[in-house]
A and B are shown apart, each in its own frame.
Chain A
């Protein structure tokens, strides 16, 4: 009961806030009245209205100062009376609607011509039947409903096969790509509706989202040439997860592993997976001095060092030839980058040495 009072109060506040007029003299809330009077006295004409509105809003937000029991004691509150307004209002409205409908039906039937009374009766039955249905009784519902005898047909559908599952997932994702987010939202809302329809077959509801489109607007999204890399990657991942099913038994697991190359084949070959290395001749692994030609000085500490490197690499049984060559080339680049420093020491100048050697005897 007290909550009703509060609601009334709030509604009155709203009304007051919306209206520009100053609040009227209200015996129920003397505190507010005094506050408003003070505000009116202080403010000027231009600020008074805004100030009042603001004050009212603040008061609305503030909690009531008196508790409900105190309020009841101090002021005379209206005695509780059972409210019968709502059903009365509804009934009145219903009667009005029915009158309007009957009038309209009569007019329409006359306009259409032909069997006036028949058309009128048809229209009324269709329209009024719906309104009368709002007073739902159990008997009405049961009369309307049809017995659902589709249980037997559901059993084979209950367990969909793998193929069907994959199909469902891929089609869903494919269809989703074409639609925009807006249409997807409506699709999600649409899904529970077909289930409802099966149980209440009498309800003639119109579903706006099904049905053939007129084809006036194109649903194509303009392509600005943007590339969503991560999106595409995740899309691919989704497809892969949808299509690739985990192995159902041990045989399938072994098949998968064999195709991936994880399974050891009998008789065991230690070099399984390294078949390409057989084609490389051993001389390429051992005689690496050829790679020193051209850049490495013929004498000096650097040559000594590089020959040691080549000896070490020739004894390495685990590197491929490419890796060994890369190793040597890395050193070449390193020394060439430090050329100026090395020439200062006198350890690098290879070509000048050779030239001087060849020129001096002449």
Chain B
């Protein structure tokens, strides 16, 4: 699960050759460490999605005998926690805000409003009726 952040940030934090080690700010592509975690979870769950759904299908039916279902129960627990798609959190893509997300644009309402005011969102207009 190589996100290309840990390598560089570790190097900066630990290597004594880089000046300001241990205190230097590390800049990534993502706004937040929470966002980084979310990205990790998305990638992991995408990786294991197929196998997990197939094993889940074995579990969620009353056609197959009980023993098979129990076996499938044990098998599905062998996946990592980050492979579970339910752990994905739809955060704002720009600010990593967990709440108040406008789903279609994947942004928080504040950023959405900002961009809409500057006419950057296609088809978005100030509401007016009556």
Contact A331 B54 (CB under 8 A): yes
Chain A interface category by residue count = 10 to 19
A309 (CB) vs chain B CBs: closest residue: B57
Return the CB mask of A53-89 against B: 1 if under 8 Å, else 0: 0000000000000000000000000000000000000
**Known contacts A338-B68, A341-B71: A327-B54 contact under CB 8 Å:** yes
A271-329: which residues lie under 8 A (CB-CB) from chain B? 301-302, 304-305, 308-309, 327
B61 interfacial by beta-carbon distance below 8 Å: yes
B64 interfacial by beta-carbon distance below 8 Å: yes
State in angstroms the CA–CA spacing of A327 and B64 once bound together: 18
Name B54's contact: one of A301, A330, A342 (CB within 8 Å): A330
- Which residues of the partner chain A approach B7 to less than 8 Å between Cβ atoms? none
A345 interfacial by beta-carbon distance below 8 Å: yes
Contact B65 A347 (CB under 8 A): yes
- Which residues of the partner chain A approach B58 to less than 8 Å between Cβ atoms? 305, 334
State in angstroms the CA–CA spacing of A305 and B63 once bound together: 6
B67 interfacial by beta-carbon distance below 8 Å: yes
Query: Dominant SS at the A interface?
Result: helix
- Which residues of the partner chain A approach B64 to less than 8 Å between Cβ atoms? 301-302, 305
State in angstroms the CA–CA spacing of A301 and B62 once bound together: 9
Contact A305 B67 (CB under 8 A): no
Contact A345 B67 (CB under 8 A): yes
Contact A305 B61 (CB under 8 A): yes
Name A308's contact: one of B54, B63, B67, B71 (CB within 8 Å): B63
B54 (CB) vs chain A CBs: closest residue: A330
Contact A301 B63 (CB under 8 A): yes
- Which residues of the partner chain A approach B67 to less than 8 Å between Cβ atoms? 341, 345
State in angstroms the CA–CA spacing of A120 and B63 once bound together: 116
State in angstroms the CA–CA spacing of A26 and B111 once bound together: 83
A303 (CB) vs chain B CBs: closest residue: B63
B53-92: which residues lie under 8 A (CB-CB) from chain A? 54, 57-58, 61, 63-65, 67-68, 71
Name B61's contact: one of A308, A334, A342, A345 (CB within 8 Å): A308
State in angstroms the CA–CA spacing of A104 and B67 once bound together: 109
State in angstroms the CA–CA spacing of A341 and B65 once bound together: 11
Chain B nearest CB, measured from A337 CB (Å): 11
Chain B nearest CB, measured from A314 CB (Å): 15
Contact A345 B54 (CB under 8 A): no
State in angstroms the CA–CA spacing of A322 and B35 once bound together: 35
Chain B nearest CB, measured from A68 CB (Å): 36
- Which residues of the partner chain B approach A334 to less than 8 Å between Cβ atoms? 54, 58
| Max chain B C-beta neighbours (<10 A), residue from A330, A331, A334, A341 | A334
- Which residues of the partner chain A approach B57 to less than 8 Å between Cβ atoms? 309
- Which residues of the partner chain A approach B68 to less than 8 Å between Cβ atoms? 338, 341-342, 347
State in angstroms the CA–CA spacing of A308 and B63 once bound together: 10
**Known contacts A309-B57, A330-B54, A331-B54: A304-B63 contact under CB 8 Å:** yes
**Known contacts A330-B54, A331-B54: A301-B65 contact under CB 8 Å:** yes
- Which residues of the partner chain B approach A308 to less than 8 Å between Cβ atoms? 61, 63
State in angstroms the CA–CA spacing of A331 and B65 once bound together: 15
State in angstroms the CA–CA spacing of A331 and B58 once bound together: 10
A327 (CB) vs chain B CBs: closest residue: B54
State in angstroms the CA–CA spacing of A327 and B58 once bound together: 13
A335 (CB) vs chain B CBs: closest residue: B68
- Which residues of the partner chain B approach A331 to less than 8 Å between Cβ atoms? 54
B7-65: which residues lie under 8 A (CB-CB) from chain A? 51, 54, 57-58, 61, 63-65
Q: Which 8 A-B pairs have the closest CB atoms?
A: A304-B63, A305-B63, A301-B64, A305-B64, A345-B65, A301-B63, A347-B65, A301-B65
28 contacts between A and B (CB under 8 A): A301-B63, A301-B64, A301-B65, A302-B64, A304-B63, A305-B58, A305-B61, A305-B63, A305-B64, A308-B61, A308-B63, A309-B57, A327-B54, A330-B51, A330-B54, A331-B54, A334-B54, A334-B58, A338-B68, A338-B71, A341-B67, A341-B68, A341-B71, A342-B68, A345-B65, A345-B67, A347-B65, A347-B68
Query: Which B residues lie at the A interface, using CB under 8 A?
Result: 51, 54, 57-58, 61, 63-65, 67-68, 71
- Can you add 20 more A-B contacts, CB < 8 Å, to A305-B58, A338-B68? A301-B64, A301-B65, A302-B64, A304-B63, A305-B63, A305-B64, A308-B61, A308-B63, A309-B57, A330-B51, A330-B54, A334-B58, A338-B71, A341-B67, A341-B71, A342-B68, A345-B65, A345-B67, A347-B65, A347-B68
